[in-house]
């Protein structure tokens, strides 16, 4: 009986010790989060230990960052794991963020579906962007290769320009695909306002490092910045 009490007391002590450590860690995370948000005005959506001992990993509305555990130092960097063949740990984290965002917006994209669908890519687009229009002009070729294209909105001028208003009109049109076709061809789209996710998609793009259009998210969460001809995009998809 004495040994039972001894072991029970030890187990209870370990549990309580773990609870104290977990509580301390949460308190520290909250303190760092509040400091970053109040000092820099960035919204921190997630905070966790990073692959590097002594650093925390922050997911923010302005991208992925690292900070010292006291919140004193902030880093924006690429972290490579030499013991794992130079694995890009930062890109892995960003890929997860991209896939989570794609899932969140899957019902608010403008989709050009391939009849014989083999792949699905999500493309940040702007209706005034030259290379976005070039990509759009080859939509049949992408679709013929089995590539479904789903558009996410990324008005390059931000959320106060006329392009943003025009993109809202496209997303709010009774036939968004037709409105997108017209807009990409330089035609005027009838002004329309509705409940939409254009601003949220733009914010998502900023969060994962998009700073231009087109940007293509592949099924594994990796990102191709810029225009890709249909055959080269197909090769990239086959290589996944």
Supply the residues annotated as catalytic. Answer: 126, 129, 132, 156
Residues 161 and 157: their CA atoms lie apart, in Å, by: 6
Residue 233: count of CB within 10 angstroms of its CB: 24
At residue 3, the 3 state secondary structure works out as: helix
CA distances from 236 to 103, 129, 179, 220, 232 (A): 21, 23, 29, 11, 6
Q: Which of 31, 29, 81 is nearest to 55 (CA)?
A: 29
**DSSP letter for each residue of 127-188:** TT-HHHHHHHHTHHHHHHTTEEEEEEE--TT-SSSHHHHHHHHHHHSSSHHHHHHHHHTTPP
E-only strand ranges, the chain: 44-49, 55-60, 63-68, 74-75, 80-81, 87-88, 110-112, 119-125, 147-153, 215-217, 223-225
H or E segment and range at residue 232: helix 230-238
């Amino acid at each position: 009986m004495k040994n039972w009490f001894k072991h029970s007391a030890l187990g209870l002590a370990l549990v309580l010790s773990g609870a104290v450590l977990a509580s301390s860690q949460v308190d520290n995370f909250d303190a760092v989060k509040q400091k970053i948000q109040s000092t820099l005005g960035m919204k921190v959506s997630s905070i966790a230990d990073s692959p590097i001992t002594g650093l925390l990993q922050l997911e923010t509305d302005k991208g992925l960052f690292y900070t010292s555990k006291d919140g004193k130092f902030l880093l924006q960097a690429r972290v490579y794991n030499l013991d794992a063949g130079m694995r890009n740990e930062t890109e892995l984290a960003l890929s997860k963020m991209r896939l989570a965002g794609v899932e969140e917006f899957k019902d608010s994209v403008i989709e050009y579906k391939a009849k014989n669908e083999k792949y699905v890519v999500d493309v940040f687009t702007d209706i005034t962007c030259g290379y976005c229009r070039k990509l759009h002009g080859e939509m049949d070729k992408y679709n013929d290769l089995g590539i479904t294209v789903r558009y996410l909105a990324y008005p390059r001028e931000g959320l106060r320009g006329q392009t943003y208003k025009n993109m809202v009109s496209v997303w709010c049109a009774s036939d968004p695909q037709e409105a997108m076709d017209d807009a990409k061809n330089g035609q005027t789209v009838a002004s329309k306002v509705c409940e939409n996710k254009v601003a949220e998609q733009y914010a998502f793009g900023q969060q994962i490092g998009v700073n231009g259009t087109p940007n293509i998210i592949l099924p594994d969460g990796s990102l191709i910045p810029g225009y890709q001809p249909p055959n080269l995009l197909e090769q990239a998809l086959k290589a996944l």
